[in-house]
Amino acid sequence: VAKAAGRNTYRFFESSMQADALERMRLLARLRTAIGRGELRLHFQPQLDLLTGAVIGAEALVRWEHPELGLVLPARFIPLAEDSGLIVPIGTWVLREACRQAAAWQRDGLPPIVVAVNLSVVQFRHGDLVETVTDALRESGLDARFLELEVTESILIGDAETVSRTVTQLKSLGLKLSIDDFGTGYSNLAYLKRFAFDKLKIDQSFVRDMDSNADSCALVRAIVQMAHGLGLRTIAEGVERALLVEQLVALGCEEAQGYFFGRPVPPDEFAEFLARNTARLIAPTGS
């Protein structure tokens, strides 16, 4: 009986694995044509200065408007795109679109903000990255100081000379570089001394429960102190409650991003948010 049950379990597992592989294949086939069909979208999530409350940046987050599945989140297609190499053209589209949008908002008279774009390690190792970024800036007319690239610690695994050269070339364009999901990846911190990063994005997993978990709070405090010692700014990700904001301010964290301030939204909605937030800040108090 046990043997039969084991075999059934195995068969069930096998067929669900096949279904999964099949689903991935279909999704990948469709993803190959997604750019050409205009199915990719960017949503924008505000990044706030914790001292002034001003929106000073927006993270561009890619979505895929699939004809049958609706809005597909990156967790479902970025890994596929990375495995297949499709992340390179997708990433190029994201960079161009983010720069174009940020420049358009400035031309519309909205307060200038920094647009933050996620880079996959695959893009980072691809030879054309510096050229792609240069082109996106030139085409859009966006000043490089309004572009920030978010990389994860995973880019540091590999040939240090190549990493160093790419970081130096990107920085020489005048843009900003930040480490995304800081504290969850590579453990050799020497790279912070060697490479010219501007900002650490403190991972959501440390921020989320820092009001109830002393260990999380200790980690956030240590990251902020270390960043300041090295002359880097910090931004807390995943800020969902007011209490977290108070704690972050007390720890000296400069910026925050999270559902408490705003979810990622389509460009039109973000422009409204930006205009509203600015109006609130410049309105005389008591009016």
Q: What residues make contact with ligand C2E under the rule CB under 6 A?
A: 45, 61-62, 73-75, 78, 91, 94, 118, 120, 150, 180-181, 237-240, 257-259, 264
Under the binding rule (CB under 5 A), the answer on residue 180 touching Mg ion is yes
Strand, helix or coil for residue 254: coil
Q: Which is nearer to Mg ion, 237 or 255 (CB)?
A: 237
Q: Which is nearer to ligand C2E, 14 or 131 (CB)?
A: 131
Tell me, rounded to whole angstroms, the distance of Cα 219 from its chain centroid.
21
Q: Which is nearer to Mg ion, 34 or 180 (CB)?
A: 180
Q: Which is nearer to Mg ion, 59 or 192 (CB)?
A: 59
Supply the minimum distance, in Å, between the C-beta of residue 85 and Mg ion: 20
Under the binding rule (CB under 5 A), the answer on residue 255 touching Mg ion is no
Under the binding rule (CB under 5 A), the answer on residue 181 touching Mg ion is yes
235-254 residues in contact with Mg ion (CB under 5 A) are 237
Strand partners, 182: 202
Window of 31-39, 75-83, 185-193, 232-240 that interacts with Mg ion by CB under 5 A: 232-240
Which residue's structure tokens are 């750019």?
35
Distances (CA, A) of 270 to 21, 48, 59, 108: 37, 13, 11, 13
**Backbone φ, ψ for residue 267 (5° rounding):** -50, -45
Q: Which residues of 124-152 are buried (b: 16+ CB within 10 A; e: fewer)?
A: bebeebeebbeebbeebebebebbbbbbb
**Backbone φ, ψ for residue 37 (5° rounding):** -85, 0
Residue 172 burial (CB count, 10 A): 11
Q: Which is nearer to ligand C2E, 22 or 98 (CB)?
A: 98
Under the binding rule (CB under 5 A), the answer on residue 118 touching Mg ion is yes
Q: Which is nearer to ligand C2E, 61 or 133 (CB)?
A: 61
Residue 277 burial (CB count, 10 A): 17
Supply the minimum distance, in Å, between the C-beta of residue 78 and Mg ion: 9
Supply the minimum distance, in Å, between the C-beta of residue 145 and ligand C2E: 21
Interface ranges with Mg ion (CB under 5 A) = 118, 150, 180-181, 237
